[in-house]
Structure 1
Amino acid sequence: MMVFVWWLAAGLVLGIVEVVTVDLIFLMLAISAVLAAGAAALGVPLVGQVAVFTVSAVVLLLLVRPWARRHLARATPDIRTNAQSLIGREAVALTRLTGVEGRVRLAGETWSARTEDRAEVPSGTHVRVVRIDGATAVVGPLQTIVEPPPDQT
């Protein structure tokens, strides 16, 4: 009966390690340890418990883990946060922008900025954030979508 407790303790430790690593390897091993604990509770000899642990670990690692990783990768959206969320947004030049210096109004805040292509942009011009370089917004021209005229035929 004492082996049952050891398997459960091993499963708990492996579960805690999984929480730290978040790679699903230790989760599969923790599940296998719990299955081996179940076998011990049913009176299966130690050799059978180790066999249950080994077979279930191999099956879980080779079949379930790849499926779970694909499922989790698909379910997790690619969300940009902090300064990276400003890329692609429109800004207004508060001062003359050069390839070296300038200021823009971006998301309600004043940012230091410079142009991407070293061109000069006059104050009041609308620009698009191309990337964030440290605490400086690198901006380019605002891409306007020009609709083709309707067919006159």
Structure 2
Amino acid sequence: MELIQTIEQWAWIGWLVLILLFLVIEMLTLDFTFLMLSIGGVAGLGTDLLGGPIWLQVVVAAVVAAILLLALRPPLLRRLRRGEDPTLSNMDRLIELPGTVVSTVTGLGGQVKLSNGDLWTARAPEGTTLTPGTPIRVTRIDGATAVVRPAQETESPLA
């Protein structure tokens, strides 16, 4: 019984440590998840300061955090990401980019020239051999190698 009384007597320190821990994690992630959990911790601390038992403190903290996570976090994330540039960048921009085979491309290697003018080391799916002049499309980027597939007949290689 004495252990439970000691925990209830010093619970406010635990709430403060938990709140600070969640705030530090939030500063590193910037995702609003741990901010909502820390506000739930503030609600638990408030319940402790009002004299509530430890089980009530945990329930209040959990309910407040859950409500904030479900109700407040999504609109905050939408507002935060509202001004993002939707333009693809870096490797994402190369996916589905057309090009032409420069030197024979097999499952082991080869070289292609993409429509943006870049020369890339390329690899084709296993069992596929692409000869020079064959129109291709990039399916993915694997390190510094473009994984390519033959372009369909209706597609223009440098469109």
Q: Please provide the CA RMSD for this pair.
A: 4.2
Query: Is 1:134 equivalent to 2:143 in the alignment?
Result: yes
Q: Percent identity?
A: 34
Residue 6 of structure 2 corresponds to none
Deviation sequence 1:37-90 (CA, Å, 0-9, x none): 7789xxx64x159798545422223333134566649x9799875434422211
SS of residue paired to 2:103: coil
Query: Is 1:94 equivalent to 2:102 in the alignment?
Result: yes
Query: Is 1:57 equivalent to 2:48 in the alignment?
Result: no
Q: For structure 1, list consecutive stretches of 5 or more residues without a partner in the other structure.
A: 1-5, 147-153
Q: How many residues in Structure 1 have an aligned counterpart in Structure 2?
A: 138
**TM-score, normalising length from structure 2?**
0.57
Deviation sequence 1:101-141 (CA, Å, 0-9, x none): 32111333211112225333332332011222332212111
Contact 1:113 1:136 (8 Å CA) reproduced: yes
Structure 2 residue identity aligned to 1:86: L
Q: For structure 2, list consecutive stretches of 5 or more residues without a partner in the other structure.
A: 1-12
Contact 2:134 2:150 (8 Å CA) reproduced: no
Structure 1 residue identity aligned to 2:39: I
Contact 2:135 2:151 (8 Å CA) reproduced: yes
Residue 70 of structure 2 corresponds to 66
